[in-house]
């Protein structure tokens, strides 16, 4: 191309237009960096003055965003964008390269296999070392479960106590009342936590064989959900149901905390209660089954 062709004129025209747009971007990038600088100064001042979460967040936004916007705009509008083409090199090795690799590898293999007894001995000692050193990393971490999942701190005669450790008296709850209770000496225990409910003043029999478990209308169930172990914390007096707020299992209080809705598979274990001569509530015995979610060994 030579001489004053229309094409060249257009090109020159384009150049000057481009220059104008470049200047615009230069200005934007400059403003962006300057804003960032000012915000950073501000950030320092705010920090120096004792800090304020929202202002810090806003100033960090401007400080980091100014740098980010400036660099991106610079890299996008003020440097060549191509597009350029690059050939992909062949990823795969050639046939002969692979053969050469196998050859080298085999040569080494042969050198080792020449003393195969030593190699086997080495393998045995490394394997033994690996297995034995694994034990501290797994076995030392905790005790074997053994009977851990089967027992709680509830025993024959355990007095029921509130979370502050005071004993529960038979006059403590009105009808519709509810209380989280623990065996005496274990207030706050995660495993023994039970929920004491008083749906009426009369003795309640929830299931056959539980004739004496609900004296004077008091019922106690394990508070650990049989689904995933959350505390079954919400008592709905109107429907006589206990609700687990984690996954919405519902248990029917009057029929032995049978699950009536949701994912819980089993009733909450019931604690057999008695009222001693002074009117305090006690457990006749511990739970007659493991509390909480299922596990492999549980039949």
Cβ atoms within 10 A of the Cβ of 181, count?
26
Please state, in angstroms and rounded to a whole number, the distance separating the CA atoms of residues 46 and 36. 15
Nearest distance, CB of residue 6 and another protein, angstroms: 6
114 or 147: whose CB is closer to another protein? 147
Nearest distance, CB of residue 165 and another protein, angstroms: 13
Cβ atoms 227, 263 nearer than 8 A? yes
24 or 115: whose CB is closer to another protein? 24
Number of Cα atoms under 13 Å in the Cβ half of residue 71: 6
DSSP string, 134-149: HHHHHGGGS---TTTT
224 or 253: whose CB is closer to another protein? 224
163 or 212: whose CB is closer to another protein? 163
95 or 103: whose CB is closer to another protein? 95
Nearest distance, CB of residue 110 and another protein, angstroms: 30
User: Chain-centre distance of CA 263, in angstroms?
Assistant: 20
116 or 140: whose CB is closer to another protein? 140
Nearest distance, CB of residue 202 and another protein, angstroms: 28
285's CB contacts (< 8 A; 6+ apart) are: 154, 155, 156, 272
204 or 249: whose CB is closer to another protein? 249
Nearest distance, CB of residue 250 and another protein, angstroms: 8
Is the link from the previous residue into 83 a cis peptide, with omega within 30 of 0? yes
Structure tokens at 75: 């890299």
Nearest distance, CB of residue 54 and another protein, angstroms: 6
Cβ atoms 69, 32 nearer than 8 A? yes
Report the b/e string of 252-291 with b at 16+ CB within 10 A.
bbbebbbbeebebebbbbbbbbbeeeeebbbbeebbeebb
Nearest distance, CB of residue 121 and another protein, angstroms: 32
Q: Which of 214, 221, 230 is nearest to 181 (CA)?
A: 221
Strand order in the sheet with 250-252: 234-236, 241-243, 250-252, 258-261
């Amino acid at each position: 191309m030579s001489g004053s062709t229309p094409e060249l004129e257009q090109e020159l025209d384009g150049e000057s237009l481009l220059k104008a747009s470049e200047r615009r971007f230069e200005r934007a990038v400059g403003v962006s960096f300057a804003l960032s600088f000012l915000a950073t100064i501000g950030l320092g001042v705010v920090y120096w003055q004792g800090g304020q979460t929202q202002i810090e967040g806003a100033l960090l936004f401007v400080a980091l965003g100014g740098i980010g916007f400036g660099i991106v705009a610079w890299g996008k509008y003020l440097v060549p964008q191509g597009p350029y083409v690059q050939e992909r090199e062949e990823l795969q090795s050639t046939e002969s390269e692979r053969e050469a690799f196998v050859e080298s590898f085999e040569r080494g293999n042969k050198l080792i296999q020449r003393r195969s007894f030593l190699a086997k001995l080495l393998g045995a000692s490394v394997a033994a070392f690996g297995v034995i050193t694994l034990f501290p990393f797994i076995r030392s971490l905790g005790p074997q479960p053994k009977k851990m999942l089967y027992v709680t701190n509830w025993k024959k005669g355990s007095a029921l106590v509130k979370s502050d450790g005071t004993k529960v008296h038979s006059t403590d709850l009105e009808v519709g009342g509810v209380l989280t209770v623990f065996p005496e000496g274990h207030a706050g225990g995660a495993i023994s936590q039970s929920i004491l409910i008083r749906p009426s003043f009369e003795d309640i029999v929830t299931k056959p064989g539980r004739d004496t478990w609900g004296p004077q209308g008091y019922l106690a169930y394990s508070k650990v959900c049989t689904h995933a172990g959350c505390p079954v914390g919400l008592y709905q007096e109107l429907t006589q149901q206990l609700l687990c707020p984690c996954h919405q299992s519902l248990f029917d209080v009057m029929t032995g905390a049978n699950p009536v809705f949701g994912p819980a598979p089993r009733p909450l274990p019931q604690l057999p209660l008695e009222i001693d001569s002074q009117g305090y509530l006690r457990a006749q015995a511990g739970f007659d089954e493991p509390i909480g979610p299922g596990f492999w060994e549980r039949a």
